[in-house]
Structure formats: structure tokens, C-alpha cells
Chain A
Amino acid sequence: GQNIDQPTEMTATEGAIVQINCTYQTSGFNGLFWYQQHAGEAPTFLSYNVLDGLEEKGRFSSFLSRSKGYSYLLLKELQMKDSASYLCAVKVVGYQKVTFGIGTKLQVIP
């Protein structure tokens, strides 16, 4: 099976930068995803990494190290609306299902 670890809660200040880490253990790794989920809403796709390195998309960036089983999501210029849960998820070769971590609840404070 897959094991995904991420912090349960984080707090950061408006305008600052925050890094949310995710470690995973799996065989047949075939991609890592980050999703944002506001309370009471469905998850929305943020990023997909399958190769090592940094993917930048506006204020959000995602990094992957396959050899270390490690990823992070970097959020810059934090805004109050970024308060949400951030879900790390992995996919394995041969399967279409995605396995999610429990999510990191980020609170952005003024």
C-alpha cells in the first residue's frame, strides 16, 4: 500500500511564504498531486509532479524528489483566501486510483 505523511495543521501570516511538506512511501510511484480544499467544498487540482524538480504556477510551486520520497508545496504572497486544507496524493503504476494524505489545514492570519 501507500503511506503518505503531511503535517495536520500550519499557521502563516498574510503576505508571507509557507512550505507544506509531504513524504510518501510507495512502490511503483507514478506521480504526486497537490489539491486545495476549502471547508465544505470539493478538492481542486493545484499541481502534478512526476519528474524530480520544481514546477511553478503563479504563487504556487511544487517540488518533487523521487529518491527521497518527498514533495513540498510552496505558497508565496499568502492571502486570506489561501486558508484551506492542502492534500498531497500519489498514484502508482498500473492503477488509476489516487491515494490521498489526510491533508494539512493551513490558517492564514492577518
Chain B
Amino acid sequence: DTGVSQDPRHKITKRGQNVTFRCDPISEHNRLYWYRQTLGQGPEFLTYFQNEAQLEKSRLLSDRFSAERPKGSFSTLEIQRTEQGDSAMYLCATGVNEQFFGPGTRLTVL
């Protein structure tokens, strides 16, 4: 158990719909990361928070993607106007050097 939970574990949506995922570190972690992983690839970095501040953001993160961590504890990742190419596993992680991943949210866009 890495101490990171994610909800939902699976999400199926239709193209054009908005979706929101949640990440809950069980204990207090001031660093939180979001990654996206497609089949046959390694995780790709999306964004990084230190407490509530979003300090790093990948160029992969288009304007349709937004992430928040309002109180420095849980975080949400929202995708607006989903596209089929957004289908992937979305992973949340915490840690200082080594990163401990939550179980992920698998998104399927039909």
C-alpha cells in the first residue's frame, strides 16, 4: 500500500464529455504528481504540485486539462471535451525522490 488512493478506478465516457479524477494521499505529502500512461509506453509526466502550488506543467497538458490541489491534500485532474486520444491510465504519485503511485484511473473515451 503506497498510501495513495484514486477515484474512480475506471471511467468510460463519450467523446466531448468532461471528466474529473481525484487523488487522495492518505498521509500528509507535500509533493504530488500526475502522470498519464498509454498501452506499451512508460508514464508521461503531466504536472507537479508542492502543497497547493502547481510548480511544473508539461507541454503535453493542453488547455483541455486542468489540475488543482486546493488545500494541499487531495488533488483533482479535469479533462474537458474528451477525445479518443485521451484514453489512458491516469496515475497520481507522491514522494520526494522515489515516487509512490496510486492504483490509477483507467479512462476510456468512446
Q: Are A95 and B56 neighbours in the complex by a CB distance under 8 Å?
A: yes
Which residues from A are CB-within-8-Å of B101?
42-44
State the Cβ distance, A28 to closest chain B Cβ, in Å: 15
Asked whether A101 lies within 8 Å of B42 as measured between CB atoms, the reply is: yes
Majority DSSP secondary structure for residues of A touching B: strand
Provide the residues of chain A in CB contact with B41, threshold 8 Å.
102-103
Q: How far is the CA of A43 from the CA of B2 in the complex (A)?
A: 11
Considering only CB atoms, which chain A residue lies closest to B43 in the complex? A100
| Contact status A42-B99, CB under 8 Å | no
**Complex interface bits, A74-103 against B, C-beta within 8 A gives 1, otherwise 0:** 000000000000010101000111111111
**Docked complex Cα distance between A96 and B32 (Å):** 10
Size class of the B contact interface (CB-based, 8 Å): 20 to 34
Is there an interface contact between A48 and B42, defined as CB atoms closer than 8 Å?
no
- Total contacting residues, chain A, CB less than 8 A: 20
CA distance in complex: A101, B33 (Å): 17
Contact across chains for B91 and A42 when beta carbons are under 8 A apart: yes
Contact across chains for B42 and A102 when beta carbons are under 8 A apart: yes
Is the C-beta of A7 less than 8 angstroms from some C-beta in chain B? Answer: no
Find chain B residues with CB under 8 A from A99 CB. 45
Closest to A87 in B: B42
Residues of A within 8 A of B (CB): 31, 33, 41-45, 48, 87, 89, 91, 95-103
Give me the 9 closest cross-chain CB pairs, A-B, nearest first: A100-B42, A97-B45, A42-B101, A45-B98, A96-B48, A100-B43, A42-B104, A48-B98, A87-B42
